């Protein structure tokens, strides 16, 4: 079997749900699978139910950031389907770890003795509003991040993380209209994943 066969590659990705698993199946690195999928124009969409006790919401957070108007031209995906890795995306030549929180208040686990990234993009979701579109995003330099967890406030302007809120740039550095259009497209494209995961 050949991973360079477009039809077989798509079939195996649809069946196994991640480039890492497809790479293991063919005996090659997942980066090789990503290369051939990009070459053939095959889309990589996370299958949330295949992540065991991991919901896959972290990967959806990464995908959200990659297309958001503020980040779109300066961000690129790292070759991984594992949202537990230290580096998720590259932004303006900096390594970034994307964190997601679906708790009652924003809490982002870091758990590292030494930061391996320049920034943490912390996406906070209120699932009663939307599990796909974050309520707020913080762009936090790793130099000010603790080594255990990041707990920004949504409302306190005296919080040390307040000035890193992406919402402060809305309407100034990116268009709110473009953001709304993007959010609608993102929900249309990925909304079925969360519905499938609840079955």
Query: How far is Cα 116 from Cα 112, in angstroms, rounded to an integer?
Result: 9
CA dist 120 and 71 (Å) reads: 14
pLDDT score at 152? 96
Question: What's residue 84's pLDDT?
Answer: 60
Say if residue 32 is in the same domain as residue 104.
no
CATH number of the domain bearing residue 174: 3.40.1350
Cβ atoms within 10 Å, residue 63: 20
Q: Which range marks the domain in which residue 24 is found?
A: 6-44
State whether 171 and 188 are in the same domain: yes
Render 117-138 in DSSP notation, one character per residue: SSEEEEEE--TTT-SSS-SEEE
pTM: 0.74
- Is the same domain home to 131 and 57? yes
d(CA 104, CA 121) in angstroms, rounded, equals 18
In a domain, 120, yes or no: yes
Task: Give the chain's domain count.
Answer: 2
Mean pLDDT by 10 residues, the chain (199 residues): 89 83 88 88 66 66 92 81 71 94 92 89 94 95 92 93 95 93 93 60
Measured distance CA(45)–CA(43) in Å, rounded: 6
Q: DSSP string of 22-53? A: HHHHHTS-HHHHHHHHHHHT------GGGSTT
Q: Are residues 55 and 36 in the same domain?
A: no
């Amino acid at each position: 079997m050949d991973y360079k066969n477009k039809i077989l590659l798509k079939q195996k990705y649809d069946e196994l749900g991640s480039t890492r698993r497809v790479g293991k199946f063919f005996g090659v690195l997942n980066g090789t699978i990503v290369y051939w999928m990009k070459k053939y124009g095959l889309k990589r969409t996370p299958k949330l139910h295949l992540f065991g006790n991991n919901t896959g919401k972290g990967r959806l957070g990464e995908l959200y950031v990659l297309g958001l108007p503020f980040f779109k031209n300066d961000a690129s995906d790292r070759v991984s389907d594992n949202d537990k890795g230290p580096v998720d995306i590259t932004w303006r030549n900096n390594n970034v770890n994307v964190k997601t929180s679906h708790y009652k208040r924003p809490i982002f686990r870091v758990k590292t003795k030494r930061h391996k990234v320049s920034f943490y993009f912390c996406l906070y979701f209120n699932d009663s509003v939307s599990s796909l579109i974050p309520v707020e995003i913080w762009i936090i330099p790793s130099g000010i991040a603790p080594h255990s967890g990041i707990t920004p406030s949504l409302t306190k302007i005296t919080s040390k993380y307040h000035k890193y809120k992406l919402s402060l740039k809305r309407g100034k550095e990116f268009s709110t209209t473009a953001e709304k259009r993007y959010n609608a497209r993102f929900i249309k494209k990925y909304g079925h994943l969360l519905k499938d995961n609840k079955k």
